[in-house]
Structure 1
Amino acid sequence: MASLHGTPESNSEKPRSLDAAPGQTEVYIIGGEDNSPRFDGGLRAWANIVGGCLALTTTFGYANSFGVFQDIYTRSHAASTSAVSWIGSTQLFLLLSMSLPAGKLLDKGYFRQTFLAGSLIYVFSLFMVSLAHPDKYYQIYLSQGIGMGVGAGLLYTPSVAVQAHYWRRKRAMAMGIVASGTSIGGVIFPIMLNRLFSNSVGFAWGVRASAFLVLGLLIPANLLMSDRPLLKKEPRPKPNMKAILTDVPYIIAVIAGFFIQWGLYFPFFYLQLYSILHGVDPNTAFYTITMLNAGSIPGRILPAILADYIGPYNAAVPCIVGLAVLSFALFGIHTAAGIIVFALLYGFTSGACGCFVSVCLRRDLTSCIVLSLCAPAIAVYAKTQDELGIRFGIMFFVSSFGTLVGNPAIGALLGNTFSWWKAFIFSGVSKFIVVIRNKNV
């Protein structure tokens, strides 16, 4: 048995790697030594969960509220749906693609520096959005699309990947709780922004108020979060990039992540606009984005806990099929009641597809194929702690291109006449591609 300080008490037991099966002692192996304290508990582990949840509330949660901006920019400032969606898509693209450098910095031990830099850039850019004129597209694009995207990207991967430093058997539960921050932010910010934009406060001070809230949440997040340093002062081994890039199951998972991201965010960008254009009362339509994110709160936590017991396959497949079916169901949904039910169900299933992070304990092909259904947040097939950041980064980087081109493509399909049926087909087919691809592997 390993002691609290990670030193084996007997030479008769050899420490095991990250691939240890459930029920066995699990430690990180650096140079053949046991360099890791126990997992799955402790004050620092839970502090990181709280800090990570706060970080995702302010970043991904805010990004999931872009439907509010999509609506106001399109209706109030006569911008095309495709042009406006490039702002939100660029923000999401950078949020995910910046995970590649952020992951490498995490692997090199620069967690705190990366997290602080991301916080400063993100808050500064959000205040710049409040100073930008809504009719000046380039000002909005630079501050909200690029600036907030870069800052959020430096926060996102460290917040998620660092949980793997502290949690093993309950990793899915831990990361499901962290991921729920996305839903919490997606509930808070749409209500806040819609209310402030529609009354005397207006756009500028509405955004400014949300920026102060973000600042107030990121300060404790910076204080609570920290990575787990190696106990012995040894050089960190470099990740084996050749082995990572030739890991076929992992690459399959990465490709599937792209297709999921391709059509995943269509309702988060367009459902509020869709509701208003179909005659739904604005007071109800303003809550559609909130309902999407509210539905994803249990969707991010419950399936993640369930996956620890029944396996990723049984938890993931119904969710991914449900997303595709719901996308096509929009053909028959035109009333307020139907839109509310759709928002809650789509929120739950989309949240579930984003909650299966680092739950894979086996490195066989079958489990990898199953987990590839759960992009964008997916299992990391890391042999050591030092591969976690780069594997997260590669997967998020590739899948980010799906977010970059997906929503503008949907905006182009909608056109000036709002041909919604084209968007429904695009969103639904992109999800079925993942199911068909993995079925035939």
Structure 2
Amino acid sequence: MSESEQTAVTGSREKIEEKNLEKGIVTSSAASIHDEPILEPEEVYPEGGFWGWSTLFGACVILLFLPLAMFFTKLRDRSLMQFATFGYTNAFGVYDGLVRNLLLNALVLMLGCNFYVRDYLTKFSPSDIGWIGGVQIFVIFASGIFTGRAFDRGYFHHLMIGGSLLHVFSFFMLSLSHENGYYQVFLAQGLGGGLAAGVTYIPSLAVVSHYFQRHRPLAMGVVACGTALGSLIHPIMLNSLFHGKIGFANGVRISTGFNAGLLIIANLCMRTRLPPKKVGSAIPIAEFVRDTPYLFTLIGGLFVMFGLHFPTFYLQLYATTHGIEKQFAFYCLSIMNAASIFGRTVPAFLAPRYGVYNMAIPFTFCMGALMYSILGVKNAGGLVVFAVIYGFFSGGAISLSPAVLASLATDVNEIGARIGVAFAFSGIIGLVGTSINGALLTSQFHWMRPSIWSATLTISGAAMYAVSRWLLTKRRSTQFV
């Protein structure tokens, strides 16, 4: 190579590295001029295309199911893949029923036990039934530590197909369960349904990273809308099926058949684009934790997880204990979920321009501050205003969390593992966080205690995000993080 050619290549490389640095991408300056030329992100990531948008749509459908899985357990009262799985999970509250005191009734309703307590598992306490939803939430998030790694190693379609089949099988078996057959419901919904949702959740979020780099936060935010849409649709649909002429067994079969069709569409729509990275079988948790921005983000996420579900699980109970009509309080949850759709898309649209941390921090802070303000809600009008505003900010904070974790990856093939590790720890917190709020509330309904606890931890989480952002600005020499 002549001296002039060498100078041209070196100059081109420097320009590309400068452009990458502006976008928060770190490239190695030690590469030889004899290496393959570094491609700009626009050349590596199509930022859409037929399969890019098709995959995004399929992932959204997958998350649609997650609230449905929770609906069967959440009658303790999360885009086609996301709509079908996580949306199903958030509908658990419909199963809960009339229990001996209002507190346990609301806890079970919000966590997915209402119908079970009132009509189906009448020989078991709300606490026993609540474990179905608690275990399901734990399995969904904890399985991410394995599914994220499997995705990075190229097993995306294995996970999607296997999780889809398990979802259909588990809920079909749920329809065959007997009245007061606790172990049947626990195995079918708590373990089977939770594992099916967990197997598909992280991969459906991570796969969009194969097609989007600069607009990755927006893509992940759109995918996360599947959970909000599922949370809006499934509770209303299942309530109508269970309490009408169709009944529980046939209602579960109808919803399972509907989900099966969506899952088929989702699997046909999604494709991976990048070749899998050759990685070892061990998950490099120690390596991730030594990355201080990731560590502070992980700690912040755990703080947020402690307080995140307080309004979601207790808003209906708060409303009814303050004289607001029960049916109106139920639909306020749907209002909150509808508002979260806008919350998941607006900050995700702005994040590529202003930085994902720069959007996640204020949204998380506002979400925490609003938990203090719930104490001022005294009537139906105030309840609607709170549901809309909180739904917007919580939707933004939740949808940005996967993009925040993905932005810390040094290689696209470790995105699944980084998200999976963080979500696995979150699953443990999710298992106990709601119980702590219940213990603070007590049967005397001391609302100030859980409100202050949840709000303070959520704001502390935003502070940890801010520390992580500060470290990244020093590392990348840019405010665009």
TM range (shorter): 0.7 to 0.9
Aligned equivalent of 1:266: 310
1:68 deviates by: 2.6
1:137 deviates by: 3.8
1:103 deviates by: 1.0
Cα shift readout 1:375-431 (whole Å, capped 9, x = no counterpart)? xxx444222222112111111111211211111232344455554444323322321
User: What code does the residue aligned with 1:76 have?
Assistant: R
Aligned to 1:145, which of 165, 173, 190? 190
Find out whether 1:76 has 2:118 as its counterpart. Answer: yes
User: Retained in 2: the 8 A contact 1:127–1:211?
Assistant: yes
Q: Secondary structure at the match of 1:342?
A: helix
Deviates more, 1:421-430 or 1:164-173: 421-430
User: What code does the residue aligned with 1:127 have?
Assistant: F
Superposed, 1:24-423 pairs within 5 Å as 33=36, 37-59=44-66, 60-69=86-95, 70-71=108-109, 72-73=114-115, 76=118, 82-133=127-178, 135-230=180-275, 236-238=278-280, 242-357=286-401, 359=403, 371=404, 378-423=405-450
1:22 deviates by: 4.6
1:237 deviates by: 4.4
How far apart, in 2, do the equivalents of 1:188 and 1:335 lie? Answer: 26
User: Retained in 2: the 8 A contact 1:91–1:144?
Assistant: yes
1:351 deviates by: 0.7
Cα shift readout 1:241-293 (whole Å, capped 9, x = no counterpart)? 55323111101111111111112122333333444454433432332321121
User: What code does the residue aligned with 1:410 have?
Assistant: N
Task: Assess, with a 3 A threshold, how the Cα gap between structure 1 residues 269 and 390 changes in structure 2: closer, same or farther.
Answer: same
How far apart, in 2, do the equivalents of 1:85 and 1:430 lie? Answer: 24
Task: Please report the RMSD computed on the Cα atoms of aligned residues, expressed in angstroms.
Answer: 3.3
Larger Rg: 2
User: Retained in 2: the 8 A contact 1:191–1:287?
Assistant: no
How far apart, in 2, do the equivalents of 1:32 and 1:395 lie? Answer: 35
User: What code does the residue aligned with 2:203 have?
Assistant: P
Task: Assess, with a 3 A threshold, how the Cα gap between structure 1 residues 270 and 103 changes in structure 2: closer, same or farther.
Answer: same
Cα shift readout 1:48-90 (whole Å, capped 9, x = no counterpart)? 1000100011122222223333322486267655544433232
Q: Secondary structure at the match of 1:280?
A: coil
How far apart, in 2, do the equivalents of 1:327 and 1:241 lie? Answer: 32
User: Retained in 1: the 8 A contact 2:297–2:465?
Assistant: no
User: What code does the residue aligned with 2:221 have?
Assistant: G
Aligned equivalent of 1:363: none
1:202 deviates by: 2.9
User: Retained in 2: the 8 A contact 1:187–1:293?
Assistant: yes
User: Retained in 1: the 8 A contact 2:159–2:200?
Assistant: yes
How far apart, in 1, do the equivalents of 2:194 and 2:126 lie? Answer: 20
1:100 deviates by: 1.1
How far apart, in 2, do the equivalents of 1:110 and 1:403 lie? Answer: 27
- TM-score relative to the length of structure 1: 0.82
1:214 deviates by: 1.5
Task: Assess, with a 3 A threshold, how the Cα gap between structure 1 residues 426 and 240 changes in structure 2: closer, same or farther.
Answer: closer
Task: Assess, with a 3 A threshold, how the Cα gap between structure 1 residues 325 and 188 changes in structure 2: closer, same or farther.
Answer: same
Deviates more, 1:114-123 or 1:208-217: 208-217
Cα shift readout 1:164-221 (whole Å, capped 9, x = no counterpart)? 1110111111111111111110111111122223333333333332222221211111
User: Retained in 1: the 8 A contact 2:285–2:421?
Assistant: no
1:105 deviates by: 1.0
How far apart, in 1, do the equivalents of 2:248 and 2:317 lie? Answer: 18
Task: Assess, with a 3 A threshold, how the Cα gap between structure 1 residues 333 and 133 changes in structure 2: closer, same or farther.
Answer: farther
Task: Assess, with a 3 A threshold, how the Cα gap between structure 1 residues 38 and 386 changes in structure 2: closer, same or farther.
Answer: closer
User: Retained in 1: the 8 A contact 2:170–2:192?
Assistant: yes
How far apart, in 2, do the equivalents of 1:304 and 1:438 lie? Answer: 17
How far apart, in 2, do the equivalents of 1:135 and 1:148 lie? Answer: 19
Task: Assess, with a 3 A threshold, how the Cα gap between structure 1 residues 25 and 257 changes in structure 2: closer, same or farther.
Answer: closer
Task: Give unmatched runs, 5+ long, in structure 2.
Answer: 1-7, 67-85, 96-107, 469-481
How far apart, in 2, do the equivalents of 1:57 and 1:250 lie? Answer: 28
User: What code does the residue aligned with 1:64 have?
Assistant: N
User: What code does the residue aligned with 1:39 have?
Assistant: P
Aligned equivalent of 1:375: none
Q: Secondary structure at the match of 1:331?
A: helix
Aligned equivalent of 2:80: none
How far apart, in 1, do the equivalents of 2:354 and 2:268 lie? Answer: 36
Aligned equivalent of 1:20: 20
Aligned equivalent of 1:428: 455
User: Retained in 1: the 8 A contact 2:171–2:256?
Assistant: yes
Higher relative contact order (CA 8 A, sep 6+): 1
Task: Assess, with a 3 A threshold, how the Cα gap between structure 1 residues 204 and 268 changes in structure 2: closer, same or farther.
Answer: farther
User: Retained in 2: the 8 A contact 1:107–1:390?
Assistant: yes
Aligned length: 411
User: Retained in 1: the 8 A contact 2:241–2:251?
Assistant: yes
How far apart, in 2, do the equivalents of 1:130 and 1:44 lie? Answer: 36
Aligned equivalent of 2:102: none
How far apart, in 2, do the equivalents of 1:210 and 1:285 lie? Answer: 25
Deviates more, 1:132-141 or 1:92-101: 132-141
Task: Assess, with a 3 A threshold, how the Cα gap between structure 1 residues 14 and 421 changes in structure 2: closer, same or farther.
Answer: same
User: What code does the residue aligned with 1:434 have?
Assistant: G
Task: Assess, with a 3 A threshold, how the Cα gap between structure 1 residues 149 and 75 changes in structure 2: closer, same or farther.
Answer: closer
